[in-house]
């Protein structure tokens, strides 16, 4: 391989890597911009859950008192964990198909999805600290301690 062909190949690799890094930086910036819960429905649920590395979904309804008690904690956590965890809210009255598909029988129910798969479930009104502890478990590297806690 000649020197100029080698230089061209290295330049192509460098350009490809730069494009990958740019894409990752844009994805991180987009996540950091999500500081409030995303509105989820039967029609957008699958695509939204697949879109984010970690998303906590709050299954709720407006008439549910305990759901209204949890809402401020969810809103606050969405701000505090922007860039690391996305939060979503799914109204079970408006989106019964999705709630049924995940076996949600009482609300509030919160599910954490990691890479599109449900990895944890919390049923009932929980204090902010308990919800945050579950989030930190998902952020921790496997078998290691978390840099977030």
Residue for token pair 């204090």: 127
Each residue's pLDDT tens digit, 93-103: 999 999 999 99
* pTM exceeds 0.75 for this model: yes
In a domain, 145, yes or no: no
Kindly give, in sequence order, each residue whose CB lies less than 8 Å from that of residue 38, ignoring residues fewer than 6 positions away: 48, 55, 86, 87, 88, 89
Least confident of 20-29, 44-53, 102-111: 20-29
Catalytic residues: 64, 67
| Whether 104 and 50 share a structural domain | yes
Q: How far is CA 36 from CA 32, 46, 114, in A?
A: 10, 19, 18
Confidence of residue 18 (pLDDT cuts 50, 70, 90): confident
Same domain (yes/no): 76, 50: yes
Question: 133 and 68: one domain?
Answer: yes
Contact 111, 123 (CB under 8 A): no
3-state secondary structure of 146: coil
* CATH code: domain of residue 121: 3.40.30.10
Q: Are residues 21 and 54 in the same domain?
A: no
Distance CA 104, CA 96 (A): 9
**Domains in the chain: how many in total?**
2
CA 17 to CA 58: how far, in whole Å?
37
pLDDT-wise least confident of 61-65, 107-111, 140-144: 140-144
* pLDDT value, residue 147: 46
Q: Does 107 share its domain with 55?
A: yes
- Looking at residue 67, the DSSP 8-state letter turns out to be H
Query: Which two three-digit tokens encode residue 13?
Result: 């690799």
Q: What is the pLDDT of residues 101-129, one digit of tens each?
A: 999 999 999 999 999 999 999 999 999 99
One domain for residues 69 and 47:
yes
146 part of a folded domain: no
Q: Are 5 and 45 part of one and the same domain?
A: no
Whether residues 47 and 116 share a domain: the answer is yes
User: What single DSSP character describes residue 23?
Assistant: H
Give the separation between CA 36 and CA 74, rounded to whole angstroms: 8
Looking at the fold, whether 51 and 39 belong to one and the same domain comes out as: yes
Q: Is residue 27 part of a domain?
A: yes
Q: What pLDDT, in 10s, does the model give residues 70-86?
A: 999 999 999 999 989 99
Q: Which domain, by its residues, includes 27?
A: 1-32
- Mean pLDDT, the chain, rounded, equals 88
Position 136 scores a pLDDT of: 95
| 144 has pLDDT over 60 | no
Rg, Å, the chain Cα set: 20
């Amino acid at each position: 391989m000649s020197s100029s062909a080698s230089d061209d190949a290295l330049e192509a690799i460098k350009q490809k890597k730069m494009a990958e890094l740019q894409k990752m930086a844009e994805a991180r910036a987009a996540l950091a911009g999500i500081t409030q819960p995303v509105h989820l429905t039967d029609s957008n649920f699958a695509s939204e859950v697949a879109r984010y590395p970690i998303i906590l979904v709050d299954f709720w309804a407006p008439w549910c008192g305990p759901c209204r008690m949890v809402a401020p904690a969810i809103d606050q956590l969405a701000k505090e964990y922007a860039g690391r965890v996305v939060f979503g809210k799914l109204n079970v009255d408006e989106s019964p198909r999705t709630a049924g598909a995940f076996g949600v029988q009482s609300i509030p129910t919160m599910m954490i999805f990691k890479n599109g798969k449900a990895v944890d479930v919390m049923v009932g009104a929980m204090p902010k600290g308990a919800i945050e502890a579950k989030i930190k478990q998902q952020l921790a590297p496997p078998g290691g301690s978390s840099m977030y806690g």
